[in-house]
Structure 1
Amino acid sequence: MHLELAVATDLPALHSLVESAYRGDSARAGWTHEADLLGGQRTDLAALQIMLDDPAQRVLVLRDGDRLDACVALANRGNGTVYVGMVTVAPRLQARGLGRLMLSASEEQAVRLFGATRIEMTVISQRTELIAWYERRGYRLSGERRPFPADDPRFGLPRRDDLEFTVLEKPL
């Protein structure tokens, strides 16, 4: 297994990895899914292509031969802040330390690629177990909440009407 930046030829496998870990029955094999909170898609090929084309964003992938086993997205927000999102591990490989590996790699890359001094993320507030996992990795609740784009099916179809994001942050 090795870490590298995603490239355009990775798009189909990257999309499949993200969808399998966040949505539908395949996601239920892991503990980090959103399948009980959201239906529909987590992302689409067009959104992933935009991430790859944008010089202020990077997607790191963990590759095992031709297979993508994990990924994480970084977006430079300026002023020393990088947003980390789409932290994904294939459901069959969860609880093996790959999430920690990807998070650590994203923090290192945020500093190396963008000169970040702070990293932030958003997590659906109802995902308390996942928030606690990030807190054990040094992330802290900022106290800020952000609305979930419930009226935009590109981000999923809410199964409840109270979804919102909690902002977590960590100094680097």
Structure 2
Amino acid sequence: MKQIILAQTQHIESIVALVNQAYRPEDAALSWTNEANWVDGDRTSFQQVQSLFKVDSFILLMFDQKILIACVHIEQHQDHAYIGMLSTHIDYQNQGVGKIMLAAAEQFIRENLSVQYIEMSVLSTRQELIAFYQRRGYQLDGQVQAYPTDAGVGIPRVDNLQVLTMCKNLVS
């Protein structure tokens, strides 16, 4: 039985392992959702995940029995919530788990945070992922930033890698 809970600090190591495996697997051919063709190195570290345990920051985890199979980070900013680190274990991809986690994040935001919209970042090269989010109501907002090479989230393997911002309005 699958269960979604709020992460605690004892989950940090498992979150780091899941995110790095989902974003940058050793065999990129096994996963459609990874960045391994465009970015080298780990996506996150223990210290980076640990820093997410603060006020107005939440990580939802999905377990199948005792196996961590998905996570998503939510952080409240003034008028919006930021979603990041949406990750699905490689063995559970293409089974709707990502959709369930995104819906759970949106529900958590609607029920617990007073915001007008949700924002997320996507690599410019990830057209299939952009399309996935667009089918769920997210739109590119025109913001484009260079890949943050100094953020400790990997080193680009391609020139001019950019980060695009996508948003979804929560109010009519």
Task: Determine which structure has the larger helix proportion and give its number.
Answer: 1
Q: Using a 3 Å threshold, how does the CA distance of structure 1 residues 109 and 27 change in structure 2: closer, same or farther? A: farther
Query: Contact between 2:119 and 2:165, CA under 8 Å: does it hold in 1?
Result: yes
Number of the residue aligned with 2:133 = 134
Q: Corresponding residue for 1:87?
A: 86
The 5 Å alignment of 1:14-163 reads 14-52=15-53, 54-79=54-79, 81-150=80-149, 152=150, 154-163=152-161
Is contact 1:43-1:155 (8 Å) kept? yes
- Which 4+ stretches in 1 moved above 2 angstroms? none
Question: What CA deviation, in whole Å up to 9, does each residue of 1:89-129 have, x standing for no partner?
Answer: 01111111111101111111112222222101010011111
1 CA distance for matches of 2:144 and 2:151? 20
Q: In structure 2, do the counterparts of structure 1 residues 10 and 26 end up closer, same or farther at CA, with 3 Å as the change threshold?
A: farther
Query: Letter of the aligned partner of 1:110 in structure 2?
Result: I
SS of corresponding position for 2:21: helix
1:20 match: secondary structure: helix
| Number of aligned residues | 169
Distance 1:97 1:154 in 2: 30
Deviation at 1:26, TM superposition (A): 4.5
Q: CA RMSD in A?
A: 1.2
Structure 2: how far apart are the matches of 1:153 and 1:167? 17
Contact 1:20 1:27 in 2 (8 A): no
- Distance in 2 separating the partners of 1:91 and 1:119: 26
User: For the residues of structure 2 that align with 1:144 and 1:7, how far apart are their CA atoms?
Assistant: 33
Identity across aligned pairs (percent)? 34
- Which runs of no fewer than 5 residues in structure 1 stay unpaired? none
**Alignment gaps of 5+ in structure 2:** none
**Aligned equivalents of 1:153, 1:40: Cα separation in 2:** 12
Look up the equivalent residue of 2:24 and give its one-letter code: R
State whether residues 146 and 160 of structure 2, in contact with CA within 8 Å, keep that contact through their aligned partners in structure 1. no
Aligned partners of 1:158 and 1:55: how far apart in 2? 31
SS of 1:24's partner is: coil
Residues 1:143 and 1:153: Cα distance change in structure 2 (over 3 Å): closer
Task: Give the residue type in structure 2 aligned to 1:89.
Answer: T
